[in-house]
Every structure is written in C-alpha cells, then in structure tokens.
Amino acid sequence: MSIQILRWNELADVKDELAGRDWFFGTSGNLSIKVTDDPLTFFVSASGKDKRKRTQEDFLLVNDAGEAVERTHLKPSAETLLHVEVYGKTNAGCSLHVHTVDNNVISELYADQKEIVFTGQEIIKALGVWEEDASVSIPIMRNHADIPKLAREFAKHVYGDSGAVLIQNHGITVWGKNAFEAKKQLEAWEFLFSYHLKLLSVKNSNIVSLQVQ
C-alpha cells in the first residue's frame, strides 16, 4: 500500500473516532497528517465539511505553504496555516484541532492567566509525564479572525514534537508523533478540562446548598 493511502486511512480513522465523540460540532475542527518530509507534504481536512461523514473528499494534499499540490476543487481547511507551523517547527506527524464546549469554557475561564495548570491527575501520564504529583500546563492564546496572525501567534507556543495550545473561545490544537499519539493527547486534555469543570460545578453547588441551609 502506498504511503499516501496509509496516511489517508490513518487520518480518516482518527477523524471517525473524534466524530464518535461528537467533537466536530457544526463542521468545526480540522486534522492533518504528514506524508513526506522533504519536500513537506501533508493531508489536511477540506474546509467546511461535515467531519462526521467519511468520504473520498475529506482530505487534500498540501505543501509547506498550505497550498494544494494537485489540481482539486477542494479548499484546504481555513486553519491550514496552523498545521503548517506544526510541521515547520517540529517533527510531529499529526495535528488535531477540535472545538468542544469544555475546551471553550476552560479557555474563557483562564484566559487572563494565559494558561491552565493541572496537578496530581493520573491521566497526566498519557501526556508523557510520569513523575508523582506532576503538573502539566497548556497555554491559552487569544483568538484572531485573521488566520495568518492567528498562525503567527500560535507558532510562539509550538515547540517539541508533541504539544497543545488552547485558543480562547475557539478550540484546542494538539500535535504528536503520529495519529495515535496526537489523539491520546487530545483525549487526555479533554479529560482534564471536563474533570476540572465538573469539580468546579460540584464545589459551587455544595457552597450554594450550604448557604441556603
């Protein structure tokens, strides 16, 4: 099987799994997977598609400028330049971007701090951190409608072959060695966001019920 078909299927399978989690609200989200290093080419999701559907037009091959390398009527994701930054600055092989309610709420709640830190959660090991009572943090950056500007700001947080960035009231982008590693990371961050919001909500309702007693 050609490397292109292998990578296409790998990305399509990850897309199906994220779709199964209902992480592609209203056509939001985009995904990419590296195909060749020199010259850089990668498959990126076509813009505006319903990412819950699996079709032959889900991805197109683009170059290091995020432009289609073959004639196609498909448009690369509007946020392809962020994927360009990931492959330009790291050795990552896959990048995933989803908008969830939890990642948007966390990004809004902690926007002023420009990051959120999590400590002492077992799931942190899925992020490759194995020390006892370890902490992990994820940067939170402002959203920009201008995509080249968004990509330039995003690039400031891109280093290391795996990583993650929250974009305020927009979504999370993660990258990793391959599709499996990127998805693992995405699931770990979303677990931490969901846990944190649930904890805040339980604590808050306990305070309210104590006040009314």
| 66 sits near ligand L4RZE5RM (criterion: CB under 6 A) | no
Give least dist CB 78 to Zn ion, A. Answer: 8
The annotation status of 99 as a binding-site residue, yes or no, is yes
Give least dist CB 34 to Zn ion, A. Answer: 20
Is residue 89 within 8 A of residue 98, CB to CB? The reply is no
Give least dist CB 148 to Zn ion, A. Answer: 15
Give just the sign of the alpha carbon dihedral 44, 76, 23, 116.
positive
Count other Cβ atoms within 10 Å, centred on residue 24.
22
Give CA angle at 19 (2, 37), nearest 5°: 35
CA distances from 162 to 26, 51, 87 (A): 27, 24, 11
The annotation status of 97 as a binding-site residue, yes or no, is yes
Sole binder of ligand L4RZE5RM in the list 19, 28, 69, 177 (CB under 6 A):
28
Nearer to Zn ion, 89 or 144 (CB): 144
Residues in Cβ contact with 38 at an 8 Å cutoff, skipping those fewer than 6 apart: none
What residue 47 binds from Zn ion, ligand L4RZE5RM, none (CB within 5 to 8 A, per partner kind)? ligand L4RZE5RM
Binding positions for ligand L4RZE5RM, 87-126, rule CB under 6 A:
97
| 32 sits near ligand L4RZE5RM (criterion: CB under 6 A) | no
Sole binder of ligand L4RZE5RM in the list 41, 77, 90, 95 (CB under 6 A):
77
| 148 sits near ligand L4RZE5RM (criterion: CB under 6 A) | no
- Binding-site ranges for ligand L4RZE5RM (CB under 6 A): 26-30, 45, 47-48, 77-79, 97
Residues annotated within the binding site for Zn(2+) are 97, 99
